[in-house]
Amino acid sequence: MLRRALTSPQAGLVLVILLLGAVLGAFAGSHVDPRSGHIVNNFLNSYTLIQTATDASFFAIMAVGATIVIISGGIDLSVGSVYALAGVTTAMVLRAAGPADPAAAVAVGLAVSLGIGLACGAVNGGLVVGLGVHPFIITLGTMWIVRGIAFVGTNAESILLPRSLTSVVKASLGMGDSLYPVPMLVMVLVSIIGSIYLMQTVGGRRVFAVGGNEEASRFSGVPIGRVKVSVFVLSGLTAGLAAFMGAAFYGSASCADATGYELYVIASAVVGGASLSGGKGSAAGALLGALLIVLIRQSIRTLHFDQNYEWIIIGCAIIVAVVLDQASARFTARRLAARS
């Protein structure tokens, strides 16, 4: 068990994250805690670590769904736009409903957000299967369409959400003031559920089969169309959940929310080990990829680099991850050929 864990693809990511965390801890400096009087490292403290995980959580949740799409051999560029539409729709519905019981407001908000995500995912999957067009083109189009609907529906207005939602997502759970672990816990829970789905269910095995070899899967009786629609539905659901968490955490929603998240989501999946050619990836890898990207952003701020370098570094990380994946695939193919 230990040997398998140490040789897994995620082990390398964990090592890189730990090394980067150590570098940040060494160069971040320290300050005196005004309440306790103790010297506290500027990075290695509970507030910064939970805040870092919170920053990662909103696109890490979406990265789990996007990874499932990538494993199936597809791609979803619309997740950021779905996030925006789900967030503003939730805010508008709750504003129209007026004051309500806090529990009911949370339930309605979550249902609306997940419902919008599910609907957008079903549309994406239906168009991909029904029109026979590559998912890149379909989701590129729906990315603009969905963002445009959010813009027109709100007139570019930022809409406030009820405080009852914020109080739930920003609950301290006994950890003290200014510590909000709920988004981090939801991120971990989604990663666990995603891992169980991919590794322990028939649906998950079908996703790998379709991404690995679609023609062989078709001849084996796998319902290709159903699998493709289902992965986009799951991607939409995770975008809807992330939208609910993000809007509730910040207390408002706007059509500009999650702009550029497509890069972070796909980068998290690819850096986490998902192969853009399909058939390879994991929910845990998506989570670790998201954490690594946030640590890269944190490093740029901590080391006082120009923040515009963030895009350059993340872009390079995607290219390096894809090149390493291709090199690994060629090495494996040569080794199997040599054995035969």
Domain boundaries, the chain: 46-339
Alpha-carbon span 67 to 65, nearest angstrom: 5
Residue corresponding to tokens 């009786």: 221
Alpha-carbon span 213 to 215, nearest angstrom: 6
Question: What pLDDT score was predicted for residue 4?
Answer: 59
How many beta carbons lie within 10 A of that of residue 122, not counting itself?
15
Q: How far from the centroid of its chain's Cα atoms is residue 133's Cα?
A: 25
Q: How far from the centroid of its chain's Cα atoms is residue 269's Cα?
A: 8
Q: State pTM to two decimals.
A: 0.90
Q: What angle do CA 193, 283, 75 make, to 5 degrees?
A: 115
Residue 132's SS3 state is coil
Residue corresponding to tokens 């696109």: 59
Q: At how many degrees (to 10) do helices 224-250 and 46-71 cross?
A: 160
Strands (E), the chain: 30-32, 39-41, 159-160, 252-253
Residue corresponding to tokens 């920003």: 170
Could you tell me the CA-to-CA distances from 81 to 66, 102, 144 in Å, in that order? 13, 27, 7
Strand partners, 41: 30
How many beta carbons lie within 10 A of that of residue 259, not counting itself?
13
- Give just the sign of the alpha carbon dihedral 13, 16, 19, 25: negative
Instruction: Output the six-digit token pair for 64.
Output: 């789990």
Please tell me what DSSP assigns to residue 45.
S
- Give just the sign of the alpha carbon dihedral 56, 183, 6, 283: negative
**Residues 46-339, CATH architecture:** Orthogonal Bundle (1.10)
Q: What backbone phi and psi angles, to 5 degrees, belong to 181?
A: -85, -5
Question: What pLDDT score was predicted for residue 63?
Answer: 95
Closest CA to 86 of 149, 178, 29, 16: 149
Alpha-carbon span 24 to 41, nearest angstrom: 10
Question: What pLDDT score was predicted for residue 225?
Answer: 95
Question: What pLDDT score was predicted for residue 76?
Answer: 96
Question: What pLDDT score was predicted for residue 5?
Answer: 54
The answer to whether residues 105 and 116 touch, using CB atoms and an 8 Å cutoff, is no
Alpha-carbon span 123 to 265, nearest angstrom: 20
Alpha-carbon span 17 to 289, nearest angstrom: 9
Q: What angle do CA 201, 206, 210 make, to 5 degrees?
A: 155
> How would you write the pLDDT of the chain (340 residues) with one tens digit per residue?
555 555 566 777 888 888 888 888 888 778 787 777 778 888 888 888 888 889 899 989 999 999 999 999 999 999 999 999 999 999 999 998 877 688 899 999 999 999 999 999 999 999 999 999 999 999 999 999 999 999 999 988 999 999 989 999 999 887 777 789 999 999 999 999 999 999 999 999 999 999 999 999 999 999 999 999 999 999 999 999 999 999 999 999 999 999 988 888 998 998 888 988 899 999 999 999 999 888 888 788 777 777 777 778 778 877 877 777 677 667 766 776 777 6
